[in-house]
C-alpha cells in the first residue's frame, strides 16, 4: 500500500499585484492562501517595490520555488508565468513645498519650476535642505519624507511680487500696466479649479519669444495653491502685405499692396505700416502673396533708369550746347553714367544732376 503525500499549506499566486510599501512580500502576491499565517507571508520579502507609479514583471516560477523551499509543507499554484508588480503613487501636494519655503524664507514665495514628484504614501513631510541662487533664479533642494523613506527634488521659486488682484482676468491688466497699450495676453493654460479669495502675482518671465509665464498664488482661508500660468504675447498692428506676388526688382504700385491687421510681436523684420512708405519703391526681395513687406526688402528707385531719354549739356563760358541722350545704365544724382546721343548714336559719360539731366562738361569763365 503506497503513501499519499498531502500538503497542509497552499497558496495561489496573483497574475498582478499592487504594492504600497518598500518591499514586495509574499502576502502582496497571494490571491488565496490556506494553512499559513498572514504574519509569515508579510515577513517573506520577495523583492524591492518599484518606484512610485512604476511597474515591472516578476517570474512566477522563481517565486514558487523559493516559497516552497523556505516555508515547509507549502504548495504554490500559479495563475500565470509572469506577475506584474505595480506601485501606488501619490503626487506631492505643492502647497506643502510652498509653505515649507515660505516658513524658511519668511516672505511671499512663488513656485516657478516644480517637477512632478511621486511618492508611495499619501502622507508626507517636506523640509528645505538648501537654498541657492544662479543669476536671477532661485532654487531650493527639498527633502520629502514618508514612512522612513526620503526623496529629494529641486524646485525653482521667485520672491518678487508685482501685486494682487481679485480674479484671473485682472492678471493681464496688472502685468501690462506699464507696457505698450496695444500689447495683449492670451491665456494658454487651463484655469485651475480652486476656490480663492485673491491672487498674488509674481514676476513674469519668458519661456520663449512669444510666451510669458506668470507665477501666481491662489490664496484662500484654507491655504495657498501655487502654480504658473502661461500666456501668449500678442501685438496687433495694421501692416503692409503683398496683395499679389511681387517679383524681385519690381517698382511697387498701390495695386500691389494692402493693409492687414496682424500679430507682429517678436517679429524680427522691419515691417511697413504705411502704404505711402512702399509705393514707388523697388523690391530687392521677392514677396509672396500675403507676406508682410519688410522695409529691408525695399529700396528707393534710381533717379535715372536705363532707356530714359534725358537732356545732356556741355557748358562753355559763352554758350551751352544741349542734346537728347538715352541713359545706358541706372544712376542717382551725383553719379557718372554712360549715355548715348539719340541723334548720332555716340556714347559718352556724364554726371546725373537734379532734373534729372546729364552734365557732360561745365567750363568756367
- Whether pLDDT at 339 is above 90: yes
Can you read off the three cell numbers belonging to residue 239?
501692416
Task: Report the alpha-carbon distance of residue 356 to residue 339 in Å, rounded.
Answer: 13
Which whole-number Å values give the CA distances from 178 to 172, 181, 182, 348, in the listed order? 11, 8, 11, 63
Task: Report the alpha-carbon distance of residue 181 to residue 233 in Å, rounded.
Answer: 13
What confidence score (pLDDT) does residue 6 get? 54
Spell out the domain ranges in the chain: 9-87, 91-158, 168-301, 309-362
Mean pLDDT of the region 50-64: 91
Mean pLDDT of the region 41-50: 94
- Whether pLDDT at 172 is above 80: yes
| Fold category of 309-362 in CATH | SH3 type barrels. (2.30.30)
DSSP secondary structure letters along 33-45: EESS-HHHHHH-E
Can you read off the three cell numbers belonging to residue 218?
491662489
Confidence of residue 365 (pLDDT cuts 50, 70, 90): very low
Per residue in 219-252, pLDDT (tens digit) is 999 889 999 999 999 988 899 999 999 999 898 9
Mean pLDDT of the region 301-319: 91
What confidence score (pLDDT) does residue 136 get? 80
Mean pLDDT of the region 181-197: 87
What confidence score (pLDDT) does residue 4 get? 47
**HSE toward the beta carbon, residue 280, CA cutoff 13 A:** 7
Mean pLDDT of the region 28-32: 96
235's enclosing H/E stretch is strand 223-242
- Whether pLDDT at 5 is above 80: no
What confidence score (pLDDT) does residue 180 get? 63
- Whether pLDDT at 1 is above 50: no
* CATH 3.90.1210.10 at 168-301, yes or no: yes
Mean pLDDT of the region 193-220: 91
What confidence score (pLDDT) does residue 317 get? 84
| Fold category of 9-87 in CATH | eubacterium ventriosum atcc fold (2.60.480)
Mean pLDDT of the region 130-152: 87
Cα dihedral across residues 21, 23, 26, 30: positive or negative: positive
Amino acid at each position: 500500500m503506497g503513501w499519499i503525500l498531502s500538503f497542509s499549506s497552499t497558496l495561489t499566486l496573483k497574475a498582478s499585484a499592487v504594492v504600497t510599501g518598500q518591499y514586495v512580500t509574499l502576502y502582496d502576491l497571494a490571491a488565496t492562501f490556506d494553512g499559513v499565517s498572514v504574519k509569515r507571508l508579510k515577513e517573506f520579502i520577495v523583492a524591492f517595490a518599484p518606484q512610485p507609479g512604476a511597474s515591472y514583471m516578476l517570474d512566477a516560477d522563481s517565486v514558487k520555488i523559493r516559497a516552497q523551499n523556505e516555508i515547509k509543507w507549502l504548495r504554490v499554484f500559479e495563475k500565470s508565468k509572469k506577475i506584474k508588480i505595480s506601485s501606488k503613487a501619490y503626487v506631492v501636494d505643492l502647497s506643502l513645498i510652498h509653505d515649507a519655503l515660505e516658513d524658511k524664507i519668511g516672505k511671499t514665495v512663488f513656485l516657478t519650476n516644480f517637477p512632478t514628484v511621486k511618492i508611495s504614501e499619501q502622507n508626507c513631510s517636506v523640509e528645505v535642505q538648501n537654498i541657492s541662487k544662479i543669476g536671477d533664479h532661485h532654487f531650493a533642494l527639498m527633502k520629502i519624507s514618508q514612512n522612513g523613506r526620503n526623496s529629494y527634488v529641486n524646485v525653482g521659486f521667485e520672491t518678487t511680487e508685482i501685486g494682487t488682484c481679485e480674479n484671473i482676468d485682472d492678471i493681464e491688466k496688472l502685468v501690462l500696466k506699464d507696457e505698450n497699450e496695444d500689447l495683449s495676453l492670451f491665456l494658454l493654460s487651463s484655469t485651475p479649479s480652486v476656490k480663492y479669495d485673491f491672487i498674488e502675482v509674481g514676476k513674469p518671465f519668458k519661456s520663449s519669444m512669444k510666451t510669458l509665464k506668470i507665477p501666481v498664488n491662489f490664496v484662500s482661508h484654507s491655504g495657498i495653491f501655487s502654480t504658473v500660468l502661461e500666456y501668449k504675447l500678442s501685438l496687433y498692428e495694421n501692416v503692409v502685405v503683398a496683395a499679389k506676388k511681387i517679383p524681385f526688382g519690381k517698382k511697387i504700385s498701390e495695386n500691389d499692396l494692402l493693409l492687414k491687421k496682424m500679430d507682429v510681436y517678436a517679429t524680427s523684420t522691419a515691417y511697413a505700416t504705411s502704404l505711402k512708405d512702399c509705393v514707388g519703391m523697388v523690391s530687392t526681395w521677392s514677396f509672396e502673396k500675403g507676406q508682410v513687406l519688410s522695409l529691408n526688402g525695399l529700396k528707393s528707385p534710381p533717379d535715372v533708369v536705363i532707356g530714359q531719354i534725358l537732356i545732356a549739356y556741355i557748358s562753355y563760358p559763352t554758350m551751352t550746347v544741349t542734346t537728347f541722350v538715352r541713359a545706358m545704365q541706372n544712376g542717382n544724382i551725383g553719379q557718372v553714367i554712360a549715355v548715348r546721343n539719340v541723334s548720332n548714336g555716340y556714347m559718352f559719360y556724364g554726371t546725373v544732376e537734379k532734373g534729372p539731366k546729364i552734365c557732360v562738361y561745365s567750363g568756367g569763365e
